[in-house]
Amino acid sequence: MSIAYIGIGSNLGDRRLNCIKAIEALEDLGMHILKRSSMHETKPWGMADQPKFINMALEVETGLAPIELLRALKCIEKNMGRKPEPRWGPRVIDLDILLYDDLILDDDTLVIPHPHMHERAFVLKPLSEIAPEKLHPLLLKKIRVLLHDLQQKAGLH
């Protein structure tokens, strides 16, 4: 079994319920939720003219290989009504693999660790709630340090 960290986001419909339904769908696929962050309301990133998001992070135990996990996440998104939308646009649900064990993977289908997670407070804040001491395998910094650095850069600290 492997430990994966999954980011969840929603900004259409009942955002909180969408996040809960996504967690239930992960459990239905046999994933064991080890930790879950609280839900954070955040401003949209990349495309400002859209509703605010609810973001959270999960630590899950899974028997799925990374590509299988990605396929499962995309299937959940589709089943929950996610439609193709503009990049960084509004969505019913968004599920991203943030980290998978200490794996470093970069191919045409999947990049782990998530390539932009260290630039996004809406990812780092919930992730630091559940895994502050987890080491980013490429940057070799703990999640809490990445969040602190990002907040300092943004003048939030």
Cis amide prior to 132 (ω within 30 degrees) = no
36, 49, 87, 94: the active-site residue: 94
53 falls within a domain = yes
Tell me the whole-structure pTM to 2 decimals.
0.92
121 falls within a domain = no
155 falls within a domain = no
Residue 35: give its domain's CATH number: 3.30.70.560
144 falls within a domain = no
Domain that holds residue 62: 2-115
71, 96, 144, 149: the active-site residue: 96
94 falls within a domain = yes
82, 87, 101, 106: the active-site residue: 82
pLDDT at position 117 is 94
Judged on CB neighbours under 10 Å (0-12, 13-18, 19+), 117 is: buried
Q: pLDDT tens for residues 45-93?
A: 766 677 899 999 999 999 999 999 999 999 999 999 877 776 666 789 9
Q: Please give the average per-residue pLDDT across 113-139, as a whole number.
A: 95
**Is 101 assigned a catalytic role?**
no
Q: pLDDT tens for residues 108-118?
A: 999 999 999 99
14, 28, 71, 91: the active-site residue: 91
What is the C-alpha to C-alpha distance for residues 81 and 97, in angstroms, rounded to an integer? 19
Is the pLDDT score of 157 beyond 60?
Answer: no
Is the pLDDT score of 18 beyond 90?
Answer: yes
User: Which residues are CB-neighbours of 5 under 8 A, at least 6 positions away?
Assistant: 57, 58, 59, 60, 97, 98, 99, 100, 127, 130, 131, 134
Is the pLDDT score of 8 beyond 80?
Answer: yes
Q: Which residues of 49-88 are buried (b: 16+ CB within 10 A; e: fewer)?
A: ebeebbbbbbbbebebebeebbebbeebbeebebeeeeee
**Is 15 assigned a catalytic role?**
no
106 falls within a domain = yes
**Is 106 assigned a catalytic role?**
no
138 falls within a domain = no
User: Which residues are CB-neighbours of 120 under 8 A, at least 6 positions away?
Assistant: 45, 150
**Is 120 assigned a catalytic role?**
no
Is the pLDDT score of 102 beyond 80?
Answer: yes
95 falls within a domain = yes
Query: Bridge partners of 66?
Result: none
Look at the chain and report how many structural domains it folds into: 1
